[in-house]
Amino acid sequence: MQNAGIATLGLNWCYIAHEVHPDHLRDAIQGAKAMKYMGLNLTVPHKLLAMEMVDVLDESARIWGAVNTIRFEAQDLDGQWKPLVHFGDSIPEKIRTRGFNTDADAITRSLREDLGMNLAGAKVLLLGAGGAGRVAALKLAAEKVAELYLVNRTSSKAEIIAAEIKRLFPQIRVAVGYPAGSIDLVLNATSLGLRPGDASPLDEKKFSLRNASAAYDMIYRPAETPFLKAAKEAGCRVANGLGMLLYQGAKALEIWTGQKAPVEVMRAALVKNIYGN
């Protein structure tokens, strides 16, 4: 996805993957800085750890409490911090790191474009209270959903997020547990469904998918998890996490390059890589 976007923008860059143990994350970030990388993407479990490891937090990272994108910056002749792309081949030695979060906006953009969801005033059941679940919960509250129900295997984690939402967004009705009536959206932010034989993230003894209009699974491989299959059979509109993956990556590319990302080119590369078509 990123290399397709980079090529379309005509940049002599290469996007590569590194597997880094959490204990070595700080060293990895410093190493990328020393080698004058343009930027980094981070996935779990690094998104929360990086909050304490970057020099500056963008507002997006401060609001949503996680870093999934890092941009390396240097000072120009006027002392202004600029992305390294600004300096061409003459990158200064003094470089700093700025942490961003592109996940939150990607979630809501995917819900709007892939499911046609109007989140304002919606009733939402969110499954999962880990890092992804927390970001999703806060973003849904910021989008002014009417009611938000949080379910997690460890209910205390959901209760912490519910308390945070009540403090930041007092107008939102938030509760821990399953709703009693019908809702507009069930959103899976857990990892259940990634592996064959995983249990469902939803306890259908406590809530039936027939009472939901739409279902979204952040998992994108497999394309149809058992949760989405059940939701489709129950008559829900369904979408997986491919759109979220696409839009967070497109925003990261814009942060590094200062250019508009070629979203459709990136989408085609992503679909081909993940699903082989």
Q: Confirm whether 47 is a catalytic residue.
A: yes
Q: Which of 33, 36, 47, 229 is catalytic?
A: 47
- Give the count of beta carbons closer than 10 Å to the beta carbon of residue 134: 24
| Angle at the Cα of 257 from the Cα atoms of 248 and 269, rounded to 5 degrees | 50
Rounded-to-integer distance, Cα 255 and Cα 243, Å: 18
- Please name which of 115, 120, 122 lies closest in space to residue 147, comparing C-alpha atoms: 122
The kind and range of the H/E element at 30 are: helix 25-34
Residues comprising the chain, all counted: 277
- Please name which of 129, 125, 171 lies closest in space to residue 148, comparing C-alpha atoms: 125
E strands, the chain, where?
39-41, 56-57, 69-75, 81-83, 95-100, 123-127, 147-151, 173-176, 183-188, 212-217, 237-239
Helices (H), 35-73: 46-49, 59-64
Rounded-to-integer distance, Cα 40 and Cα 29, Å: 8
| CA 140, 135, 153, 217 torsion-angle sign | positive
- Please give the structure tokens belonging to residue 247: 């839009």
- Residue numbers annotated as active site: 47
